[in-house]
Structure 1
């Protein structure tokens, strides 16, 4: 005689957590790693965003004691954030000097831009192949934010959103490895632009972004790839490959409440 099953429904399977859009996360770096606390992640994001918006220039010294005072945390917490920033090439940890915002040389700048062109030449066709009405809507929304920042004269936010636009294309390409590469390359390019950009030069031309979106919508892969390469070469051509420095106050650029 076979056993009867209990007359109870089987427990519902738990759905995997839906990961939120990575556009905001991309601006603040990669997702939090295991062992990361809310405070050291806050420090990481504050420095990352300050670099992306050009408020923390290359060569700026980041004193552990300053972070301890600003955030009321221990040196252990500060060091976790600084180590992650160093891993992502945002800062350099130098013997006897501590942490400084990374300062790529002119040769490194050229190599980084060459790598970014190679990566984006792969990303654009994938973004076109995977385009959906929803993804195109997100691209248009990102471009609208960028235009709004430009029209309001908010240069720092415009620069940040220009980087976000490229990171969104990487996300929509559907290749997580390329997306991780782009997160690093965009942040390193922001450093390079902060160090070498000519006065009054802009990181990204909104007209070229608009043209790129049109080509993506039309499925014009060859033209879109040619445009992204021209776009990045144009940005690089506006850089003056010589070192500049300006001093900043950490508390003023990190927006510590």
Structure 2
């Protein structure tokens, strides 16, 4: 006769072990991607990951699915999982559309900004400065998304908020993979100065200036992407660390 309690306990232990292995693979690969150790387009071969990390295929597949949901990995049926590698044309199209959405946030949100809302933006600027000092790309990306969502949230338009959130989530992938964040020097921080000017324009309800600043900011954001080879490591060497 099967002992139900023993079976249940063993089942829970097996599930927990799989989840722990999945998290270990997920964390290791994501850290490597955010640190730009693995080149865009690299195939994340399950057999290599399994051998190097002593993990079975199932938790590896779950980990890769999580990375795919975050936009960092593309899983192609019958081929495998690859680090995302968008073309220059795709990224140009993305920034063109994102600029139009940013313009819409100005149209629907700027007039609704209250004085009490502005403290959020000034807090953002303070926190942004700290991310540059600490070289904390993960925190910067989070703050940058909050900043660019601000007017959409103030607008109260749920559709605008949803689409801006989706665009900024995709933008984060480009920042993680290609941005010059780690190379920005304090005295040369054009991006931060643009954010400061945008906050001033929002405070002054200066729509025309804000639109011009967004246009320039999108151009510089694209120009700041470095899509050439950075001297990446192989998957095997990254997993051996």
State TM-score, norm by structure 2.
Answer: 0.65
- Mapping 1:66-215, distance limit 5 Å: 66=49, 75=58, 79=61, 82-83=64-65, 85-86=67-68, 89-155=71-137, 157-193=139-175, 197=179, 200=183, 205-215=191-201
Matched, 1:224 2:215: no
Are the counterparts in 2 of residues 124 and 225 from structure 1 also a CA contact under 8 Å?
yes
**Structure with greater helix share of residues:** 2
Higher mean Cα deviation, 202-211 or 152-161?
Answer: 152-161
Are the counterparts in 1 of residues 36 and 232 from structure 2 also a CA contact under 8 Å?
no
Question: Which residue of structure 2 lines up, in the alignment, with residue 22 of structure 1?
Answer: none
RMSD of aligned C-alpha atoms?
4.2
- Aligned in 2, Cα 1:165/1:55: closer, same or farther, shift over 3 Å? farther
Higher mean Cα deviation, 49-58 or 189-198?
Answer: 49-58
- Give the Cα–Cα distance (whole angstroms) in 1 for the partners of residues 69 and 97 of structure 2: 18
- Give the Cα–Cα distance (whole angstroms) in 1 for the partners of residues 136 and 92 of structure 2: 28
Are the counterparts in 1 of residues 73 and 81 from structure 2 also a CA contact under 8 Å?
yes
Gaps of 5+ in 1: 1-37, 253-257
Once the two structures are TM-superposed, the CA of residue 92 in structure 1 deviates from its matched residue by 1.1
Q: How big is each residue's C-alpha offset from its partner over 1:136-191, in whole Å with a ceiling of 9 and x where there is no partner?
A: 22222222110112234445543553344223443333333333323332333344
- Aligned in 2, Cα 1:53/1:229: closer, same or farther, shift over 3 Å? farther
Are the counterparts in 2 of residues 159 and 204 from structure 1 also a CA contact under 8 Å?
no
- Give the Cα–Cα distance (whole angstroms) in 1 for the partners of residues 155 and 72 of structure 2: 24
- Give the Cα–Cα distance (whole angstroms) in 2 for the partners of residues 78 and 105 of structure 1: 27
Once the two structures are TM-superposed, the CA of residue 207 in structure 1 deviates from its matched residue by 0.9
- Aligned in 2, Cα 1:129/1:81: closer, same or farther, shift over 3 Å? farther
* 1:104 counterpart SS class: coil
- Give the Cα–Cα distance (whole angstroms) in 2 for the partners of residues 124 and 251 of structure 1: 48
Gaps of 5+ in 2: 1-18
